[in-house]
Amino acid sequence: MKKKIQSIFIANRGEIAVRIAKTAKEMGIRTVAPFSPDDKKSLHVKEVDKAIGLSNIKLSETFLSPDFMVELAIREKCDAIHPGYGFLAEDYRLAELCKRRGLIFIGPDPEVIRIMGDKSEARKIALDAGVPVLPVFEGEINELAELSSSLGFPVMIKAVSGGGGKGLRKVNHIAYYLKELERAGREAMNYFGSNRLLIEPYIKNARHVEVQILADFYGNVIHLFERECSIQRNHQKIIEESPALNISSELKQKLFAAAFKIAQKADYSNAGTIEFLIDEQENFFFLEMNTRIQVEHGVSEMVTGIDIVKKQICIASGERLNLKQDEIKCSGHSVEARIYAEDPFYDFRREPGCTGPLFLPEYKNLRIDSNLTENSCIPESFDPLLAKLISYGSTRKEAISLLSEGLKDLMIPGINHNAKYIESIIGLNEFLKFRHNTETLKNIHNTLINKLLSEREKSLRFILAGYLIIHFSKKPNNYENIWKSIGYWRQMNKVEVKSEETKHVLFWKKTKNSIEVDIDNVIMKLDNISVTGNEIQFCFEGNSYLIYFRKEEKYTLFSIHGFTFKLRSDSVLSEVQIRKQKIYENKESGKVVVSPLFGKVIKINYRVGQIVKKGDPLIVLESMKMENNILSPVNGKIKRIRVSINENVMENQELIELEKIVETQNKEIIFQN
């Protein structure tokens, strides 16, 4: 059964493609991977032995097409396919097609993928193995709708074929049940082609703990201990660590035993993850199995020293596991942070765009998995994961401290991202004292954002000072000495910079080798100013600061401290104000409803001519696996609908035109055109 793999086709992109390519290279295995036009500067294109450029950017015909990927692999004379995670990684059709066409699939058997990817079938496997599961109701929307009066709330609605937070809804009250049932069913159909759902009781203050396993074709199963994944936003993990603390050794052994039973019952082979929910009394319940390598696999590698990708390749080649359970030790502690291109101040909308010069910190025991290179593009069509920072320490405190330093020093200019948000989370008492659960982040979200808003306001002052330096200079991209090029600054003492809601008044005066800037009555003295290329450097209160800037056609982009701002060239700031504006309302009249984010129109709730009230949900947009209701800003009548179902829309694109209703003193209604 053994067959040495000579060449791997990586049916993926991003940081996981880089990760697979590095291990394959160490094993002397050739690698091939596809890349889209947006990915031509990405790191995985450089890491593989051969990169195949795709002219077709339709995901359904490329990264989500088993036939396309297998044909490419055969054409490039590869003998194996590694699916990574996401895309086709848990699509049994890819594994099935590999089997038919004579390719080695680096993962489990297709039938196992199919069964364990179906929550209903996976529950049966767990039950047969004697592993606890939550009681559920299963069916289609019309069947489950009839159960509303007999359910005890809160409940969780889950797509039977779901995963990754899609088709998942928490319902706190019967009043919202039917609406959320419809949304979950629609999302499940869009992503998985089936609207079958599960209803299960919601476990309050639950912890999400998973067990990493490896299994070969000969019935041998080992575990690489457990991972804590309870810090989640909208049911998606953003921080993971290993080992889990505040869990009894007795419970851990029960989790490991349960994982073994499920793997053996499913006749599982290769790497897999079995996920559990744990309640406050240490009762545990099988949640699901991921039949692939996980995003968070790195923390298990850090504490065990075992290369999981290498083990995947060896198992797929037909080799026996050369490790026994008692030989595997969990040493120290590891924490991972997922860095996404998203704006925490704007409801985590995703941030496509291009990066500037990168600074990825290099510390001992800090691993960075990323696909980024200088001037990488972050397209709208792909997952917004920019990087994973994975720290290791002899203690949890040491690992958290190292991760915090890495997050502080991380620079990905040009794109808003969540590194500062993550940094704030790992500094919280709840996290430091390991008192968190799956509800913690939701409960403290507003506190975190308010804290970050304060930090962002301080960063804005630096940006405004930097704006003055480059905007009022004659040669903004070629400085030797800031004072030689300061130009007509010497004749100015006041500048007004306007944002959409705020006018910032800036005064300045020059002293010897420094400038003093008064920004909105906050005085800052900046010393040792220099501008080189796209970087502004200065000292403030004894600390050195660096601002990255890039001039575009209509605005200048600035980044500092993990915050990104856009300042328009006509002195109007488009995004620097602390974002508290009404994102669904045309500021001048309220007659035009625009999209606050990039997304796809999945539902239009009204027709032309219908009357709507302020706050009514007009359109449902899907973005980053979430549904977003676009609300009516006024009482009015639908005049025009400018989009259609399944249309992809851009940020600030017009969606609906309204005729505003005005009620006169004698109760007459007037439509304002």
For residue 151, name the pLDDT band (cuts at 50, 70, 90). Answer: confident
CATH code assigned to 456-573: 3.30.700
CA distances 246 to 117, 250, 256, 322, 434, Å, are 30, 12, 16, 31, 7
- pTM of the full predicted structure? 0.81
* Least confident residue range of 100-104, 113-117, 268-272, 581-585: 581-585
Convert the pLDDT of each residue in 646-665 to its tens digit.
888 877 788 999 887 765 44
Q: What is the mean pLDDT of the chain?
A: 86
CA distances 204 to 134, 201, 240, 288, 447, Å, are 13, 9, 20, 18, 21
Ranges of CATH 2.40.50.100 domains, the chain: 592-672
Residue 548: φ, ψ to 5°: -95, 135
Quote the pLDDT of residue 279.
95
CB count in 10 Å sphere of residue 358: 18
Q: Are 360 and 367 in contact (CB under 8 A)?
A: no
Ranges of CATH 3.30.700 domains, the chain: 456-573
Burial pattern 167-196, b for ≥16 Cβ within 10 A else e, equals: bbbbbeeeeebeeebebbbbbbbebbebbb
- Look at strands 80-82 and 104-105 and give their pairing: parallel
Task: Give me the mean pLDDT over the 521-534 stretch.
Answer: 85
Non-local CB neighbours of 41 within 8 Å, separated by 6+ positions:
373, 374, 375, 376, 377
Sequence length of the chain is 673
Task: Give me the mean pLDDT over the 225-232 stretch.
Answer: 97
Convert the pLDDT of each residue in 379-414 to its tens digit.
888 889 999 999 999 999 999 999 999 999 898 888
Burial (CB < 10 A; 0-12, 13-18, 19+), residue 661, is middle
Quote the pLDDT of residue 503.
67
Residue 195: φ, ψ to 5°: -105, 20
Query: Which is nearest to 190 in space by CA: 358, 64, 30?
Result: 64
Ranges of CATH 3.30.1490.20 domains, the chain: 135-201
One-letter amino acid identity for 630? I
Non-local CB neighbours of 71 within 8 Å, separated by 6+ positions:
none
Cα–Cα distance measured from residue 580 to residue 485, given in angstroms and rounded to the nearest whole number: 37
Quote the pLDDT of residue 529.
87
Convert the pLDDT of each residue in 624-642 to its tens digit.
667 888 988 888 899 999 9
Convert the pLDDT of each residue in 10-20 to its tens digit.
999 999 999 99
CATH code assigned to 7-106: 3.40.50.20
CATH code assigned to 207-451: 3.30.470.20
Non-local CB neighbours of 198 within 8 Å, separated by 6+ positions:
119, 120, 136, 137, 138, 156, 157, 158, 159, 160
Which residues is 557 bridged to in the sheet? 550, 566
* Least confident residue range of 118-122, 199-203, 558-562: 558-562
Cα–Cα distance measured from residue 270 to residue 308, given in angstroms and rounded to the nearest whole number: 10
Q: Is the predicted pLDDT of residue 486 greater than 50, yes or no?
A: no
For residue 498, name the pLDDT band (cuts at 50, 70, 90). Answer: low
- Between 575 and 451, the more confident residue is 451
Convert the pLDDT of each residue in 531-545 to its tens digit.
888 889 999 999 999
- Between 582 and 92, the more confident residue is 92
Quote the pLDDT of residue 477.
40
Convert the pLDDT of each residue in 65-115 to its tens digit.
999 999 999 999 999 999 999 999 999 999 999 999 999 999 999 999 999
Cα–Cα distance measured from residue 468 to residue 464, given in angstroms and rounded to the nearest whole number: 6
Query: Which is nearest to 377 in space by CA: 28, 668, 39, 10?
Result: 39
CATH code assigned to 592-672: 2.40.50.100
Which DSSP letter does residue 151 get?
P
Ranges of CATH 3.40.50.20 domains, the chain: 7-106
Which residues is 369 bridged to in the sheet? 388
Cα–Cα distance measured from residue 370 to residue 360, given in angstroms and rounded to the nearest whole number: 9
∠ CA 633-349-412, rounded to 5°: 145
Convert the pLDDT of each residue in 422-472 to its tens digit.
999 999 999 999 999 999 998 988 889 988 988 888 888 888 888 877 765
Ranges of CATH 3.30.470.20 domains, the chain: 207-451
Burial (CB < 10 A; 0-12, 13-18, 19+), residue 210, is buried
Cis amide prior to 135 (ω within 30 degrees)? no
Distance of CA 192 to the CA centre of its chain: 20
Place of tokens 């007004």: 496
Quote the pLDDT of residue 192.
77
Quote the pLDDT of residue 195.
82
Q: DSSP 3-state assignment of 149?
A: helix
- Between 459 and 366, the more confident residue is 366
* Least confident residue range of 1-5, 206-210, 639-643: 1-5
Which CATH number fits the domain 135-201, given the four candidates 3.40.50.970, 3.90.228.20, 3.30.1490.20, 3.40.50.300? 3.30.1490.20
Cα–Cα distance measured from residue 33 to residue 125, given in angstroms and rounded to the nearest whole number: 35
Percent over 90 (pLDDT), the chain = 52
Non-local CB neighbours of 569 within 8 Å, separated by 6+ positions:
471, 551, 554, 555, 556
Task: Give me the mean pLDDT over the 352-379 stretch.
Answer: 89
For residue 595, name the pLDDT band (cuts at 50, 70, 90). Answer: confident
∠ CA 640-633-606, rounded to 5°: 40
CB count in 10 Å sphere of residue 584: 20
Convert the pLDDT of each residue in 31-71 to its tens digit.
999 999 989 999 999 999 999 999 877 888 999 999 999 99
Percent over 70 (pLDDT), the chain = 88
Cα–Cα distance measured from residue 150 to residue 201, given in angstroms and rounded to the nearest whole number: 12
What positions carry a catalytic annotation?
Answer: 292
